[in-house]
Every structure is written in structure tokens, then in C-alpha cells.
Structure 1
Amino acid sequence: MTAWIAILIPLLIMVFALGMERLETRLRAGTVREDEVEDFLERARPDEVKALFRQGIGGALTMFRLRNLGKRNGGARRGGRPSEPAGRSTTSG
């Protein structure tokens, strides 16, 4: 009987530890970093603040990230004129 207890207890502890590790991995994927929240609170637009109350921090941060992503991608093209397709001319005549 003592031998079974000596074998089962470590096995149960290992199974419990593996289960907790899986749970922790799922929880870690759904968390938001502190610096993201601070950045959001400093630079959020009114529609993003409304989304914070309607959808929670996850939905509001998604909107905020999409806006910032658009700024970064569009910033390089902002100063110049868009290129025209090859073979077409804008001058008439």
C-alpha cells in the first residue's frame, strides 16, 4: 500500500503541474502589457475610448493598434506623390 502511495503522489503532482502550465500559457496569451495600456490611455481617440467601454480593453487596443499600424505604413508615402502605372502619361497632347 505504501509503495502505491509513493508512486501515485509524484505522478499526481506532475499531472497537476502540467495542467497548470497549460492554463498559464492560455492566460498569458490573453493578457495586455502595461506599456500598451499606458500608451493607449495617453493617445486614444474618442472612438477608441468608446470601444474600451463597449468591447473591453482587447477590442479597444485592437482599434488602437490598427490605427498606429496605418500611420507607420502610410508615413513613408505621405510626403511623395503616388507613382503612376508604367506606360501612362498625365500630359495631354
Structure 2
Amino acid sequence: MTAWLSVLVPLLVMFFALGMERVESRLRETSVRQDELDELLEQPRPDEVRALFRSGTNRALEMFRLRHRDADGGRPTRRSKVSS
């Protein structure tokens, strides 16, 4: 019984770690860039603050990106992926 536990526990920990790596990689891809969030919090518009309060960060950042896209002449902003 002890021999089975000594083999099973490390295997379970290894599979758990591999699963968490996949979850972390998905979260890393969908995360918000720090400079965008800093700029949103430094120069908010009333509608962006209202969206942040009511709908959360994603909606407020969407409005922020639309504002910057309009200010840049209609060009969509590119999001860079963080490589590790």
C-alpha cells in the first residue's frame, strides 16, 4: 500500500502541475496589458468609469481601445503577446 502511494502521489502532483500550466497559459493570453490599464486609470472618461463600475474591466478597456482607435484615425490597436 505504501509503495502505491509513493508512486501515485508524485504522478498526481505532476498531472496537476501540467493542468495548471495549461490554465495559466490561457490566462496569460487573455490578460490585460499593464500599460493600457495604467493609462485607463490615469485618464478616464465618465463613460469609461461608469462601464468600469457597472460591467468591469473588460468593458471599460473595450471603450478605452475604441477611443484610442478613433484618435489614431481608425486604425485598430495591436495587442502584443507576452512571450516566455
TM-score when scaled to structure 2? 0.67
**Could you list the per-position Cα deviations for residues 50-74 of structure 1 after superposition, in whole angstroms to 9, with x for gaps in the alignment?**
1111111110001110111122134
Cα distance in 1, alignment partners of residues 44 and 69 from structure 2: 14
Distance 1:13 1:74, change over 3 A: closer
Larger RCO of the pair (alpha carbons < 8 Å, separation 6+): 2
Please state whether the residue corresponding to 1:32 is helix, strand or coil.
coil
Q: How many residues align?
A: 75
Cα distance in 2, alignment partners of residues 50 and 15 from structure 1: 43
**Could you list the per-position Cα deviations for residues 29-67 of structure 1 after superposition, in whole angstroms to 9, with x for gaps in the alignment?**
443233222101222222111111111111000111011
- Counterpart of 1:48? 48
Unaligned runs of 5+ in 2: 76-84
- Counterpart of 1:13? 13
Mapping 1:64-79, distance limit 5 Å: 64-74=64-74
Unaligned runs of 5+ in 1: 76-93
Cα distance in 2, alignment partners of residues 19 and 74 from structure 1: 40
Identical columns (%): 59
Letter in 2 for 1:18: L
Letter in 1 for 2:23: L
Larger radius of gyration: 1
Mapping 1:22-33, distance limit 5 Å: 22-33=22-33
Cα distance in 2, alignment partners of residues 49 and 6 from structure 1: 54
